[in-house]
């Protein structure tokens, strides 16, 4: 019996010793780097439409090795670039973060303001007005702000994009830097909000004159043009002509075209704008030692060129398909650079879009599908005549972003009842055949909508910045030119975007559960163990943070 007890005791000691020596290596408690990638004007279906032509290390890598939230939508209107980037990073809608559009009528200043304009700062690296930019008009913090605060400002946060608003809002209020592209000089610039002088490495990058190099070539298709079977024929009537071209077809002789088409700024409307952004992003990672601060760093990247190309040529153009096939290669190179910098599995990467896009209405009309073009000038002129006849004054200060701004001072001076005037305007606007909704600000303030288009309109309504009457158009109807496409509506063709997470602590898989764009920031907050942005209304994506 003693021998048996001795045998058991010895084995227990051996087992305990092995258990102690065989402890698994603890997984890192936080990622070294977070990289947010926003693609300007990416429809959800582009993932699958071009799947057969993508390589294995770009979009496919994120899908096959990461987590794909397939049913991700914007939960407000308007679906524009400024509000989109703000919503992704603040975790809330324009109702809270205040970025109600790319530009809007400011009732206190009695003029239009640009979403990231700031006349108290000056440009750094430029003398152009495009340098007078900052996040001052965004009213809440971002996930990148909260990361900085949580580490006593030790985390490094940088935002980059061709568009200023796409670099500034993601970087937040407390960023180390935000850089954007100035088409007047072909350089990446910033403002005095962040620094007084461009870093030496940024100056050296600008001195390479890459925009001029990329525009001194011909844009031809990456693959033989007959393989672009996912798009309409190259020569079609739904695309916009560049100055100097007789047809909107390949090849596009950029060297010949760019002097008359925005100069070096034309690179934005070519896939080489994505190349330039990728080049700069990789340089940021290297020169700023991103992911090596000892705290989690954050790099926010936005690829702006798909939006310019979509506006110009439309979602069914060979130009847009070629843009995405080339972007896939840029993403592959970017992901490789990130993983070389911090090691595979040490970075969290997420990819989404700031909005999607509808089909070109003229194309839908030819297919006998309901669609059309709204003549806003005619609409507003009719409204002014009606109000002048009714009240002796047009009472309209502005019509912007499908919102009527009334002259409340005149209404008060005439001793008119504001709510009644708003209701009269709404009743008049709903009579237009292109209009589906017309809702007063009073209704927005006093009624809580829980679903449908009115719910999305309310989430985009900011009591201090929005207009007196909000208008929505029918599906497929836009205020735009007859070629190319735009965006901004509450319909799925504008709201449904891809959302992919990849890397540190992200399991492989996918889900069709409903996710809103405002859920990204709180999900990152849970992964990083930091506070939610202070205006956050989104919820963590449960299957990513369990």
| Residues 162-209 pLDDT 10s | 999 999 999 999 999 999 999 999 999 999 999 999 999 999 999 999
For the chain, percent of residues with pLDDT exceeding 90:
94
Check: CB of residue 477 under 8 Å from CB of residue 434: yes
Please give the average per-residue pLDDT across 524-536, as a whole number: 98
What CATH number belongs to 372-474? Answer: 3.30.1360.150
CA-closest candidate to residue 81, choices 186, 168, 142: 168
- List the Cα angle 520/521/522 in 5-degree steps: 95
The span from the CA of 97 to the CA of 117, in Å, is 16
Q: What is the mean pLDDT of residues 512-525?
A: 98
Rounded-to-integer distance, Cα 145 and Cα 176, Å: 10
DSSP 375-394: -HHHHHHHHHHHHHHHHSS-
The percent of residues in the chain predicted with pLDDT above 70, rounded, is 95
Rg (CA), the chain: 26
CA distance 139 to 117: 14
Is the distance from CB of 521 to CB of 142 less than 8 angstroms?
A: yes
Is the pLDDT at 12 greater than 70, yes or no? no
The predicted structure's pLDDT at residue 431: 97
Q: Sign (positive/negative) of CA torsion 117, 183, 194, 299?
A: positive
The pLDDT value given to residue 2: 42
CA distance 71 to 93: 18
Does the annotation count 81 as an active-site position? yes
Name the DSSP letter for residue 31: -
Q: Please state the domain extents for the chain.
A: 33-365+490-545, 372-474
Q: Are 477 and 361 in contact (CB under 8 A)?
A: yes
- What pTM value is reported for the model? 0.94
Among candidate residues 527, 368, 470, 505, the one with its CA nearest the CA of residue 104: 470
Mean pLDDT for the chain? 95
User: In the chain, what are the helix, strand and coil shares in percent, each to the nearest 5?
Assistant: 40, 15, 40
Tens-place pLDDT, residues 239-260:
999 999 999 999 999 999 999 9
Specify burial of residue 446 (Cβ count, 10 A radius: 0-12, 13-18, 19+). Answer: exposed
Q: Which residues pair with 510 in a beta bridge?
A: 68
DSSP-based three-state secondary structure for 503: strand
Q: How far apart are CA 157 and CA 527, in angstroms?
A: 17
Query: Which tens digit of pLDDT belongs to each residue from 259-291?
Result: 999 999 999 999 999 999 999 999 999 999 999
Q: Coil, helix or strand for 298?
A: strand
| pLDDT computed for residue 4 by the predictor | 45
Q: In whole angstroms, what is the distance from residue 65 CA to residue 62 CA?
A: 6
Q: Please say if the pLDDT value at position 21 is more than 80.
A: no
C-alpha–C-alpha distance, residues 333 and 283, integer Å: 12
- pLDDT of 9 above 50: no
pLDDT value, residue 29: 85
Query: CA geometry: angle at 171 spanning 40 and 150, to 5°?
Result: 140
Residues 6+ apart with CB under 8 A from 544: 67, 501, 506, 523, 527
132-152 pLDDT tens trace: 999 999 999 999 999 999 999
Please write the tens of the pLDDT for every residue from 403-461.
Answer: 999 999 999 999 999 999 999 999 999 999 999 999 999 999 999 999 999 999 999 99
Task: Kindly report which listed range (27-41, 124-138, 275-289) carries the lowest average pLDDT score.
Answer: 27-41
Alpha-carbon distances, residue 520 vs 18, 32, 45, 200 (angstroms): 42, 19, 20, 34
Paired strand residues for 73: 496, 516
Catalytic one of 72, 79, 81, 221: 81
* 184 token code pair: 């007047």
Identify the DSSP state of 261. Answer: T
> What superfamily would CATH give domain 33-365+490-545?
Alkaline Phosphatase, subunit A (3.40.720.10)
pLDDT in tens, 321-344: 999 999 999 999 999 999 999 999
Contact 59/331 with Cβ under 8 angstroms?
yes
Q: What is the DSSP letter of 33?
A: E
Q: What is the pLDDT of residue 546?
A: 79
Q: Which residues does 479 contact at the CB level (< 8 Å), separation at least 6?
A: 373, 374, 375, 376, 473, 486
């Amino acid at each position: 019996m003693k021998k048996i007890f001795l045998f058991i005791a010895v084995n227990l000691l051996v087992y305990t010793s092995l258990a102690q020596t065989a402890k698994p290596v603890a997984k890192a408690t936080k990622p070294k780097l977070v990289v947010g990638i926003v693609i300007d004007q990416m429809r959800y279906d582009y993932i699958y439409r071009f799947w057969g032509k993508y390589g294995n290390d770009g979009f496919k890598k994120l899908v096959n090795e990461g987590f794909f939230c397939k049913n991700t939508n914007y939960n407000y209107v308007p679906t524009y670039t400024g509000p989109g980037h703000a919503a992704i990073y603040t975790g809330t809608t324009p109702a809270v973060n205040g970025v109600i559009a790319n530009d809007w009528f400011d009732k206190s200043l009695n003029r239009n303001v640009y979403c990231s304009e700031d006349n108290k700062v000056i440009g750094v690296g430029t003398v152009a007005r495009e340098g007078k930019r900052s996040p001052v008009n965004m009213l809440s913090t971002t996930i990148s702000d909260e990361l900085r605060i949580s580490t006593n400002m030790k985390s490094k946060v940088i935002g980059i994009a061709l568009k200023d608003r796409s670099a500034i809002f993601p970087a937040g209020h407390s960023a180390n830097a935000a850089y954007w592209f100035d088409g007047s000089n072909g350089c990446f610039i910033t403002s005095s909000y962040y620094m007084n002088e461009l870093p030496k490495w940024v100056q050296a990058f600008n001195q390479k004159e890459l925009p001029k190099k990329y525009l001194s070539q011909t844009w031809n298709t990456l693959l033989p043009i007959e393989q672009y079977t996912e798009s309409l024929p190259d020569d079609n009537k739904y695309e916009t002509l560049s100055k100097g071209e007789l047809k909107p077809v390949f090849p596009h002789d950029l060297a010949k075209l760019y002097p008359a088409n925005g100069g070096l700024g034309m690179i934005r409307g070519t896939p080489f704008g994505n190349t330039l952004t990728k080049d700069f992003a990789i340089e940021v990672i290297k020169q700023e030692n991103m992911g090596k601060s000892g705290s989690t760093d954050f790099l926010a990247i936005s690829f702006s060129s798909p939006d310019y190309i979509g506006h110009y040529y439309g979602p069914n153009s060979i130009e847009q398909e070629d843009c995405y096939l080339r972007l896939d290669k840029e993403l592959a190179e970017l992901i490789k650079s990130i993983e070389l910098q911090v090691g595979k599995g040490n970075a969290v990467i997420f990819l989404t879009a700031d909005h999607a896009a509808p089909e070109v209405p003229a194309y839908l009309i030819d297919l006998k599908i309901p669609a059309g073009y709204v003549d806003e000038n005619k609409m507003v002129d009719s409204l002014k005549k009606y109000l002048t006849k009714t009240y002796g004054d047009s009472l309209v200060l502005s019509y912007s972003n499908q919102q009527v701004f009334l002259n409340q001072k005149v209404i008060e001076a005439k001793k008119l009842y504001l709510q009644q005037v708003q209701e009269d305007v709404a009743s008049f606007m709903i009579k237009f055949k292109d209009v589906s909704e017309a809702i007063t600000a009073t209704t927005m303030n006093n009624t809580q909508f829980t679903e449908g288009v009115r719910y999305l309109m309310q989430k985009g309504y900011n009591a201090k910045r929005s207009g007196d009457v909000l208008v929505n158009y029918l599906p497929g109807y836009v205020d735009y030119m007859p070629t190319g496409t735009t965006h901004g509506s509450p319909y799925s063709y504008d709201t449904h975007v891809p959302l992919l997470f990849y890397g540190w602590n992200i399991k492989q898989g996918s889900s069709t559960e409903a996710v809103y764009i405002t859920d990204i920031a709180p999900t990152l907050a849970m992964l990083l163990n930091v506070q939610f942005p202070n205006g956050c209304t989104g919820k963590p994506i449960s299957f990513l943070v369990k």
